[in-house]
Amino acid sequence: MSKNVVVRNIKRAASAEIDQLARLGAATIHEAIGRSGFLGPHIRPIQEGSRIAGSAVTVSSHPGDNLMIHAAVEMCQKGDILVVANTSASSHGMFGDLLATSLLSRGVRGLVIDAGVRDTAELRQMSFPVWAAHVSCEGTVKASPGSVNVPVVLGAQVVKPGDIICADDDGVVVVPRTEAATALAAAKTREAKEEETRARLQAGELGLDIYGLRQRLTDLGVRYLDSPPDR
């Protein structure tokens, strides 16, 4: 069994693909990979306007204990994003500006955590982007064992070490490492198609016509009335 282990070496996707995914944004990528991978609306950015992607270094931690986050720092390298899950829910502020200083010095791009963070003013000043479930002063101990670079669950998604994390103002999406190229291609296709649709919508065309939805409305029994029905 793989309890309480720190895995040193993980596979990462190609950085060229990761960097292109960053630009495309979380919602587009979520659609491109078949409407999957979204960590849920409870994990929110503490800043506005960041859009990043990177390789997941994962932490399975005890609520209220950030010992394993310290252990994880050593496993991080340039281009990574730290992803922290807890064995049960809590709002503790498990991460602050000192850990961010340490991660920034290693080239880590940001943090995703299904718990709380603190020192948020400082984190914004440092331009270290964070997506978290809570903001909380409540501090932690460094006393409980856990794991680094094992599969973890955030929201309703499994994040495996080396998976690609895409995060922006809409939240966080995980792309399985082995699907990076497929996801990138699909996202680019979608982006191009959206660009074209956007131009048509701006010109006044309707989604009903562009997507051919009028027949569907009829098939579903939707009726058009000139004025409100009685009741």
DSSP state of 107: T
Report in angstroms how near the CB of residue 94 gets to a copy of itself at its nearest: 11
Among 23, 36, 188, 191, binds a copy of itself (CB under 8 A): 36
Among 121, 181, 185, 192, binds a copy of itself (CB under 8 A): 121
Among 16, 34, 181, 189, binds a copy of itself (CB under 8 A): 34
Among 16, 77, 78, 101, binds a copy of itself (CB under 8 A): 101
Would you give the binding string for a copy of itself spanning residues 172-211, x where CB under 8 A is met?
Answer: -x--x-xx--------------x--xx--xxxx-xxx--x
Among 168, 180, 184, 187, binds a copy of itself (CB under 8 A): 168
106 scored as a contact of a copy of itself (CB under 8 A): yes
DSSP states along 148-217: ESS-EEETTEEE-TTPEEEEETTEEEEE-GGGHHHHHHHHHHHHHHHHHHHHHHHTT--HHHHTT-HHHH
Which runs of E-coded beta strand occur in 40-170? Answer: 44-45, 52-61, 80-86, 110-117, 130-135, 147-148, 152-154, 157-159, 164-168
Count residues near a copy of itself (CB under 8 A): 111
Give me the amino acid identity at 7. Answer: V
